[in-house]
């Protein structure tokens, strides 16, 4: 990777991937783009920024040519719960950004990374140790339908046109920099803000609902490790299961209580999010990623919890808002 384009740089992943890539490849070699110009200052940081609607193929192609881009990170997507509110919009945005990335990637000789998700699995998929290659037909969300489409189309572009497409199935991502929005796994981020601010959290996902989750530093490491992997070792491409931890709301609450003993958890279930969570795996088998490109997460639930509480706590201290204890 020499000249990298990041679409959706202002989102939960993009806001951390851009500085991570700039540290490795140099500020001027990572071009951040986002539809929102409001966030230009914070997104641009210390490198190039272009306002871009990824659905505008002409503008997208012009930026790829201007910066001689060789790798595209397509992080544009409406998440699972938002998708159920506006399925048509979710399809148009998620698939529009994907097809533009693949087509423009093909025309300009770029590698393309588009994240998939645990949402690529459905209610008939084996729930525990979900295999790399398994049933994906029983998908019940538009987000999942887009993810399965993305996996198939990305593999098609590789086999048919030789485009270097690679991808991972991300679990719920936990981070302290930018809040996720409209996802089913968002509770696992919100719980840290509520615990720090109020000492209590009302969870919209039922106790006993297990989902794969991952701390952002491991997700960033996965992306670069996969994109830099020796292609001759890759038997799979779109997309690799990657796993780091799996927990239900009670388990993350217990991990938080080790640091904030008086933390209280209550429930007010969101039926849409709960139905989505129920259709997703409890935990994925990531053996192929480990074997084919050396995937090895560093953070488990206790390590992630310790760091999240510390970092979110620092945010509140800096902002002058009182801490709960």
- 89, 78 Cβ separation under 8 angstroms: yes
Angle between helices 301-319 and 187-198 in degrees, nearest 10: 50
Size, binding site for ligand AKB by CB under 6 A: 12
**Residue 143 annotated among the catalytic residues of the structure:** yes
Could you give the CA distance from residue 242 to residue 245 in angstroms, rounded to a whole number? 10
Nearest residue (CB) to ligand AKB, 184 versus 209: 184
Q: How far apart are CA 37 and CA 49, in angstroms?
A: 9
Tell me whether residue 122 or residue 183 sits nearer to ligand AKB (CB atom). Answer: 183
Site for ligand AKB, residues 54 to 83, rule: CB under 6 A? 79-80
Contacts of 41 (CB under 8 A, 6+ apart): none
- Among 115-123, 155-163, 224-232, 295-303, which window interacts with ligand AKB (CB under 6 A)? 115-123
Residue 314 Cβ vs ligand AKB, minimum distance, rounded to whole Å: 24
Q: To the nearest whole angstrom, how small is the minimum distance from the Cβ of residue 9 to ligand AKB? A: 18
Q: Is the peptide bond before 139 cis (omega within 30 degrees of 0)?
A: no
Q: Which residues contact 176 (CB under 8 A, 6 or more apart)?
A: 192, 308, 311, 312, 315
In this structure, are residues 244 and 213 in contact, taking their beta carbons and an 8 Å threshold?
yes
Residues 6+ apart with CB under 8 A from 149: 95, 98
Contact criterion met (CB below 8 Å) for 146 and 90 = yes
For ligand AKB, the closer of residues 88 and 160 by Cβ is 88
Least distance to ligand AKB, CB of residue 324, Å: 26
Catalytic residue, chosen from 20, 143, 187, 299, is 143
Residue 180 or 313: which CB sits closer to ligand AKB?
Answer: 180
Residue 94 interacts with ligand AKB (CB under 6 A)? Answer: no
Under the binding rule (CB under 6 A), the answer on residue 117 touching ligand AKB is: yes
Find the part of the chain contacting ligand AKB (CB under 6 A) among 61-69, 111-119, 131-139, 285-293: 111-119
Residues numbered 153-212 forming contacts with ligand AKB, rule: CB under 6 A: 170, 172, 180, 183-185
Smallest separation (angstroms) from ligand AKB to the CB of 29: 28
Tokens of 9: 């740089």
Binding residue for ligand AKB (CB under 6 A) from 119, 122, 150, 249?
119
- What is the smallest separation between the CB atom of 285 and ligand AKB, expressed in angstroms? 17
Burial class for 129, CB neighbours closer than 10 Å (0-12, 13-18, 19+) = middle
How far does CA 215 lie from the centroid of its chain? 10
Q: Choose between 70 and 248: whose C-beta lies nearer to ligand AKB.
A: 248
Residue 100 or 184 with smaller CB distance to ligand AKB? 184
For the CB of residue 260, give the shortest distance to ligand AKB in the complex, in Å.
Answer: 24
- In degrees and rounded to multiples of 5, residue 186 shows phi and psi of -55, -25
Asked if 239 touches ligand AKB (CB under 6 A), the answer is no
Sign of CA dihedral 195, 178, 71, 25: negative
- Catalytic positions are 143
Binding region for ligand AKB (CB under 6 A): 79-80, 117-119, 143, 170, 172, 180, 183-185
């Amino acid at each position: 990777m020499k000249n990298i384009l990041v679409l959706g740089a202002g989102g939960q992943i993009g806001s951390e991937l851009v500085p991570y890539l700039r540290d490795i490849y140099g500020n001027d070699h990572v071009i951040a783009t986002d539809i929102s110009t409001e966030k230009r200052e914070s997104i641009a940081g210390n490198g190039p920024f272009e306002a871009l609607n990824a659905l505008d193929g002409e503008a997208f192609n012009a930026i790829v040519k201007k910066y001689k881009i060789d790798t595209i990170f397509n992080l544009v997507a409406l998440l699972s719960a938002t998708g159920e509110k506006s399925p048509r919009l979710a399809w148009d945005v998620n698939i529009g950004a994907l097809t533009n990335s693949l087509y423009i990637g093909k025309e300009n000789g770029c590698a393309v990374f588009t994240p998939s998700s645990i949402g690529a699995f459905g209610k008939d998929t084996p729930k525990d140790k979900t295999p790399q290659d398994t049933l994906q037909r029983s998908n019940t969300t538009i987000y999942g339908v887009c993810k399965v489409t993305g996996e198939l189309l990305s593999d098609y572009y590789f086999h048919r046109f030789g485009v270097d497409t690679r991808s991972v199935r991300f679990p719920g991502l936990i981070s302290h920099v930018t809040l996720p929005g409209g996802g089913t796994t968002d509770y696992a981020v919100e719980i840290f803000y509520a615990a720090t601010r109020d000492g209590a959290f009302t969870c919209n996902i039922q106790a006993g609902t297990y989902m794969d989750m991952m701390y952002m530093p491991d997700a960033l490491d996965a992306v670069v490790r996969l994109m830099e992997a020796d292609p001759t070792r890759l038997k799979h491409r779109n997309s690799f299961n990657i796993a780091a931890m799996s927990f239900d709301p009670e388990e993350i609450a217990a991990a938080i209580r080790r640091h904030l003993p008086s933390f209280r958890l209550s429930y007010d279930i969101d039926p849409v999010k709960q139905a989505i969570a129920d259709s997703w795996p409890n935990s994925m088998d990531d053996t192929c990623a480990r074997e084919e490109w050396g995937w090895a997460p560093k953070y488990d639930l206790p390590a992630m919890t310790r760091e999240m509480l510390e970092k979110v706590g620092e945010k509140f201290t800096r902002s002058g808002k009182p801490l709960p204890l």
